[in-house]
Amino acid sequence: MATSDPSAINPGAPTATSIPRRGFVELLLSSGIIATAAAFVYPVLRYFVPPKTTDVGGDSVVAGKVGELKPNSGKIFRFGSRPGLLILTADGEYRALSAVCTHLSCTVQFRPDLREVWCACHNGVYGLDGRNILGPPPRPLESFDVQVRGNEIYVTRRRES
Amino acid sequence: MTVVRNVRNWFYERLEWDDLIAPLRKKTVPLHRLSYWYFLGGITLFLFVIQVLTGILLLLYYRPGANEAFESVQYIMTQVQFGWLIRSIHSWSANLMVFTAFAHMFSVLFLKAYRKPRELTWISGVILLVLVMGFGFSGYLLPWNTLAFFATKVGTDIAGQVPFVGHAIMVFLRGGEEVTGATLTRFFGFHVAVLPGLVTVLITFHLLLVQRQGMSVPPHVEKDWNANPTTRRELKFFPNFALRELMAWYTGLGVLGALAAVFPWNLGVKADLFASAPAGIKPEWYFLFMFQTLKMIPSKVWFMDGEVLGILAFGVAGVLWLLLPFLECDRLARSKQWITGMSVFALAYVVAMSVYGYVAK
């Protein structure tokens, strides 16, 4: 029921002041809802990101015991969260390398018949010093320092100088 | 805004949801001074959705297993960004959900909403409450801390006291004779697969019934309305009631967020299978009334073990509770008074025993 008198009390009728007021309430409501959503979405998005894992064990591990390896053989050991490869060469010298292939991160192995390090996934071959010789690997394997203390063989990551 | 409208129109041309919403637009909710009690079921549903969402988030880092469970929860709480908050919300929401489910049940009881034709809604609701408590019991063990370990030991041992089938139930729950890592694996399976599946099916059934039959009107309100038809008032379900419900959910979210942030749930000490139970050990608050009752029954009553008697009594009470709508009979006015009296007694008993269990040494 519209009246011609604009001052008549009729809360439902659109008047000059009711439009901005409605707009203000809508703004308040929608920004409140957006703020609530943000307050919940932000922590969830951060939650999805896994924390950085620190390599437990530091820079030095016991890779094996003296006498465990025969000359011209190798074994995988655990170096932090990744595998390492300990080799006893035919000359009786210990070598330690990262066992993670630089091509696509397969775990490499020592091949006594080749006297070289071989990756079974894509036929990559590395020398005993870790140099990439054949196949797809783009970079040499990281090589580690080996020390024999008493009965134990310690492998240490080389400090970057 | 025109972008939103265009997107909406694009979908509307393909989905044409008018006929889907039409029944919701026609649906009404009775409006009277007790209408606020109708919100409790919706809030329980809302908290269940929160549980599913935060539960999925926790699954990204949680590892079941006696050697890893405690450490993984510790990891969530100390290393994962906002991990403490997600776990705290999950724990708080679980407790609030049990509370609102109980409150919903007693409101349905006192508003007499269980009567014909809503017997199936009542039955599915009581089963849902039991499943929710199962969620609480199984989830409580997952962090593998001392309190949880002993609560599970005692809880499964109680199940083992049931005559004839008790031992089999206990072995089934524990995955062996003792509470070990095998129990944890099992409870994890119940908590994240079996119970969610059952609850989802039952909630769907429960809600379908509510939609189909509409909200019940308490008998005394109905009587007033029949005597004076002009006082009958109704609210449109959509959008009026739905918006009010949404406001209740929003408030619930605020309360939950505040509780979780201000009072983060603690983790306790890792379970040691060969350590003594710490003094003053108690179950979660919603099991307290049963725990306290069993504690108070003497060890021998006539020819029966006290524990067995208590468990049998709770079993009988549970079955009667489930079948409550069938105990009320229109021809017997007395039956209504009996049920009201029994309901008041049940509520008083649960509250009193819980408080007693909480303060008792």
Question: For the packed helices B146-160 and B166-174, what is the interaxial angle rounded to 10 degrees?
Answer: 150
User: CATH no. for residue B61?
Assistant: 1.20.810.10
The verdict on a CB contact (< 8 Å) between A49 and B81 is yes
The tokens describing B144, both together, are: 């593998």
Across the interface, whether the CB atoms of A36 and B83 are under 8 A apart is answered no
Residue B180 tokens read as: 């070990």
Of A36, A39, A51, the CB nearest to B80: A51
Phi and psi at A139, nearest 5°, equal: -135, 160
Q: Name which of A128, A107, A108 is nearest A118 in CA terms.
A: A108
Structural domain contains residue B21 = no
Beta bridge partners of A78: A83
Instruction: Say which DSSP state B172 is in.
Output: H
What distance in Å separates residue B235's CA from the closest CA in chain A?
A: 19
B 47-106 → A contacts, CB under 8 A:
57, 60-61, 75, 79-83, 85-86
Cβ contacts below 8 Å, chain A against chain B, sum to 27
A60-157 CATH, one of 3.30.450.40, 2.102.10.10, 3.40.350.10, 3.30.1330.100: 2.102.10.10
Is B24 part of the contact surface with chain A (CB cutoff 8 Å)? no
**CA B326, CA B207: separation in Å to the nearest integer?**
21
Q: pLDDT below 50 — which residues of chain B?
A: none
The structure tokens listed for A105 are 């991160």
CA-based nearest distance B69→chain A, Å: 17
Alpha helices in chain B (DSSP H): 2-15, 18-26, 39-59, 69-78, 83-110, 119-141, 146-160, 166-174, 181-189, 195-213, 219-227, 242-262, 288-296, 306-322, 324-327, 333-359
Query: What's the domain range around B135?
Result: 28-229+236-280
A interface with B, Cβ–Cβ below 8 Å: 36, 39, 43-44, 46-51
CA B153 – CA B170 distance, rounded (Å): 10
Q: Mutate one of B1, B50, B71, B79 to test the A interface: name it (highest A CB count within 10 A).
A: B79
Residue B199 burial (C-beta neighbours within 10 Å; 0-12, 13-18, 19+): buried
Q: Does the residue B329 lie in any domain?
A: no
- Cα end-to-end distance, chain A, whole Å: 88
- B216 vs A42: CA distance, rounded Å: 41
CA triple B191-B197-B203, angle to 5 deg: 110
Distance CA A49, CA B70 (A): 21
Nearest to A43 among B79, B85, B253 (CB): B85
For chain A (length 161 residues), average pLDDT per consecutive 10?
Answer: 47 59 90 91 91 68 91 91 91 93 91 93 93 93 93 86 49
At B160, phi and psi to the nearest 5? -70, -15
Number of folded domains that form chain B: 1
Interface subset of B 221-260, CB within 8 angstroms of A = 250, 253, 257
Contact B82 A44 (CB under 8 A): yes
pLDDT at B60: 96
**Beta-bridge partner residues of A143:** A97
- Contacts of residue B261, defined as CB under 8 A and 6 or more positions apart, other chains included, come to B85, B88
Q: Which residues of B touch A47 (CB under 8 A)?
A: 57, 60, 80-83, 86
B211 inside domain: yes
Evaluated on CA atoms B164, B169, B171, B174, the torsion sign reads: negative
- Three-state SS for A6? coil
pLDDT value, residue B50:
96
Chain A neighbors of B78, CB-CB under 8 A: none
Which tens digits make up the pLDDT trace of B210-219?
Answer: 988 888 889 8
CB distance B86–A43 less than 8 Å? yes
Cβ-based contacts of B247 with chain A (< 8 Å): none
* Segment B255-304, tens digit of pLDDT: 999 999 999 999 999 998 888 888 778 889 999 999 899 888 888 888 88
**Among B303, B311, B343, residue whose Cα is nearest residue B111:** B343
Cβ separation B80–A50 shorter than 8 A: yes
Q: For chain A, which residues make up each domain, given as ranges?
A: 15-48, 60-157
CA distance B78 to B84: 7
Q: What's the CA gap between B100 and B256, in Å, rounded? A: 13
Q: Is residue B11 assigned to a domain? A: no
Q: How close, in Å, is residue A45 to chain B by CA atoms?
A: 9
Contact check, Cβ <8 Å, A39/B257: yes
Name beta bridge partners: A83: A78
Q: Mutating which of B76, B82, B246 best tests the A interface, going by the most A Cβ atoms within 10 A? A: B82
pTM, entire model: 0.80
- Is B220 part of a structural domain of the chain? yes
Largest Cα–Cα distance in chain B? 79
Q: Minimal Cα–Cα distance from B9 to chain A, Å?
A: 21
Q: Residue A47 and residue B80: Cβ atoms within 8 Å? A: yes
Q: Which of A34, A47, A49, A56 to mutate to test the interface with B (most CBs of B within 10 A)?
A: A47
CA distance A19 to chain B (A): 17
CB-based burial label for B258 (10 Å; 0-12, 13-18, 19+): exposed
The ipTM value here is 0.77
